[in-house]
Amino acid sequence: MKYKLILLFLIFNSLLFSQTVTEGETYFNNKQYGKARSVYEELLKKRPKDGLFNYRYARCCYELNDAEKAIPHFELAGKRYPLRNLYLGELYYNSYRFEESATAYKEYMATLKPTESKLTEYAEKIKKSENAAHLMERVEDISIIDSVVVNKDEFLKYFKFNSELGSLNQETIKLNGRKKVDRIKYTTQRQDRVYFSDTIKGQLNIFTSYKLLDSWTKPVSISEIINSQANENYPFLLADGVTLYYASEGENSIGGYDLFITRYNPTTDSYLTPENIGMPFNSPFNDYMMVIDDQRKLGWFATDRYQPVDKVMIYTFIPNDVKTIVHSEDKDYVRQVAALKTYHKVIASRTEIGSSMENQLAQPVNQIEFILNDTTVYTNINQFKSKEAARLWNDLHDFSVELNARVKELSDLRAKYAKTENDAERSVMAPKIMELEQKNTDMKNQLSIKINEVRKTEINFLQNK
């Protein structure tokens, strides 16, 4: 009797399991990925190494934009499901794991027939992955002083640069009558020359025109070395009159738009070969509209990385006089810096920005620049209505000064490490660098918390007033 009950129990469990498998398959085939994921999540508790369950659970996560869960389960699915390498190629790429992305795409291509129509497309993905992996070796260490999410169709009004640099104008047009794109016009401060983007045969290129006595020259393509078969847009000329920033979707881009720099050579009346300015400015997403104010030591650029449709992030940063590269054996940390998921957000006054450390310490604490919300910026500590918020600001200012000092210490130590060829000296400096990196990361996290605390305290006070 006992054995019959056990047998019946096993049969019942087997039928129930089969029914659950069928239910998951039905949801999956009908593209009901939310319901399918819940089913496969339960099935994986019983068979955690099952290739099919892992593949389908990962695919559900992918379709639901949950890359963090999709990646490990695609990896567990095994080589029985070669399509997983196609998904892993994309997911690795967007996670800044570029070498792994290239490998995944290559493994997927190896399973295809020579007549496959998308071989060229996948080869381009491999090229982008390898190019991005190369750029990861030279991630620039920059100081972000502000970031704000805004509507894409009005993002330029958040570029608060000096009028002596010229002016920028933004229009929205339709490319090929369908896709909305920006048409950007940059006018020099003397208003005697313009650089602008416009459509030619369904793509965007950059053009230029000079002002004559009472008219303008006919617009011409700025340069064949700049305008490619892809879209070029978002021109900006530095105050030196020769350095041009712009964005391109061309073959050297690792995302949609990437930021590029080139310089005009008056001797040859031509531009130098444009260079991708690298990470963290560029990403697997769209990055564009670089503006540098050399006099005030400020820079701005826009990106749609990790943003909803029609929203962009505007970053304000301090340009480096000399490019400083992030040196770390911790690949995850470098990825975080490259993706701008961790950065030093300096809380400084306008007079502090670009000055020396000694001058920063000497600035009066009541001169500030603090973004309370999308419409309000405090420029003086006396504008705080909450006494507690003002006190928290003072603490935040002191904390920021301390963090500045630590960042400079780390930067100097990295530079010294890069220059020395003495292995004994390097072995002493390496653990100090790692220790400082960890301390700085912890302080940066604390800084974000303190910023939010000041903002929350002031907003709560205003709402309850």
Residue 76 lies in a domain: yes
Q: Distance between CA atoms of 329 and 331, rounded to whole angstroms?
A: 6
Residue 332: other Cβ atoms inside 10 A: 10
The amino acid at 435: E
H or E segment and range at residue 128:
helix 119-135
Parallel, antiparallel or unpaired: strands 143-151 and 344-345: parallel
The CATH number that applies at residue 81 is: 1.25.40.10
Q: What is the pLDDT of residue 359?
A: 37
Q: What is the pLDDT of residue 96?
A: 96
The amino acid at 280: P
Please tell me whether residues 203 and 290 are part of one structural domain.
yes
Residue 337 lies in a domain: no
Tell me the two tokens of residue 209. Answer: 């025109």
Q: What is the pLDDT of residue 400?
A: 82
Full domain range(s) for residue 361: 346-465
Which of 80, 112, 137 is a domain's end point?
Answer: 137
Q: Which residues are CB-neighbours of 64 under 8 A, at least 6 positions away? A: 33, 34, 37
Please tell me whether residues 359 and 248 are part of one structural domain.
no
Please tell me whether residues 130 and 148 are part of one structural domain.
no
Tell me the two tokens of residue 372. Answer: 């309370």
Report yes or no: 330 and 430 within 8 Å, Cβ to Cβ.
Answer: no
Residue 31 lies in a domain: yes
Q: What is the pLDDT of residue 364?
A: 46
Q: Distance between CA atoms of 397 and 215, rounded to whole angstroms?
A: 52
Q: From residue 37, how far is each of 88, 170, 248, 293 by CA, in Å?
A: 18, 44, 38, 50
Residue 51: other Cβ atoms inside 10 A: 15
Q: Distance between CA atoms of 122 and 314, rounded to whole angstroms?
A: 32
Q: What is the pLDDT of residue 372?
A: 73
Please tell me whether residues 105 and 166 are part of one structural domain.
no
Please tell me whether residues 153 and 133 are part of one structural domain.
no
Residue 260 lies in a domain: yes
Listing DSSP states for 376-441 in one string gives -EEEEGGG-S-HHHHHHHHHHHHHHHHHHHHHHHHHHHHHHHHH---HHHHHHHHHHHHHHHHHHH
Please tell me whether residues 276 and 350 are part of one structural domain.
no
Which of 318, 337, 357 is a domain's end point?
Answer: 318
Q: At what angle do helices 423-464 and 387-419 cross, to 10 degrees?
A: 160
Please tell me whether residues 295 and 156 are part of one structural domain.
yes
Q: What is the pLDDT of residue 243?
A: 96
Q: What is the pLDDT of residue 353?
A: 34
Q: What is the pLDDT of residue 344?
A: 42
Domain count, the chain: 3
Q: What is the pLDDT of residue 17?
A: 64
Please tell me whether residues 109 and 215 are part of one structural domain.
no
Please tell me whether residues 58 and 77 are part of one structural domain.
yes
Listing DSSP states for 131-146 in one string gives HHHHHGGG-B--EEEE
Can you say whether residue 204 is alpha, beta or left, with left for phi > 0 and alpha for psi between -120 and 50 degrees? beta
Please tell me whether residues 314 and 173 are part of one structural domain.
yes
Q: What is the pLDDT of residue 85?
A: 96
Q: Which residues are CB-neighbours of 30 under 8 A, at least 6 positions away? A: none
Q: Is 239 exposed, middle or buried (0-12, 13-18, 19+ CB in 10 A)?
A: middle
Taking alpha carbons only, the member of 52, 51, 44 closest to residue 28 is 52
Fill in the DSSP letter of residue 273: P
Q: Give the pLDDT of the chain (465 residues) as one tens digit per residue.
A: 555 555 544 554 555 567 888 898 999 999 999 999 999 999 999 999 999 999 999 999 999 989 989 999 999 998 899 999 999 999 999 999 999 999 999 999 999 999 999 999 999 999 999 999 999 999 999 888 888 899 999 999 999 888 889 999 999 888 877 788 999 999 999 999 999 999 988 899 999 999 988 889 999 999 999 999 999 999 999 999 999 999 999 989 998 999 999 999 988 889 999 999 999 999 999 999 999 998 888 899 999 998 888 899 999 888 988 888 988 888 888 998 999 986 544 443 333 333 333 333 334 445 566 777 655 777 778 888 998 988 888 888 888 888 888 888 887 787 777 677 777 887 788 788 878 878 887 887 788 788 888 888 988 888 786
Can you say whether residue 234 is alpha, beta or left, with left for phi > 0 and alpha for psi between -120 and 50 degrees? left
Report yes or no: 102 and 96 within 8 Å, Cβ to Cβ.
Answer: no
Which of 82, 104, 137 is a domain's end point?
Answer: 137
Please tell me whether residues 124 and 195 are part of one structural domain.
no
Residue 374: other Cβ atoms inside 10 A: 11
Please tell me whether residues 311 and 445 are part of one structural domain.
no
Residue 325 lies in a domain: no
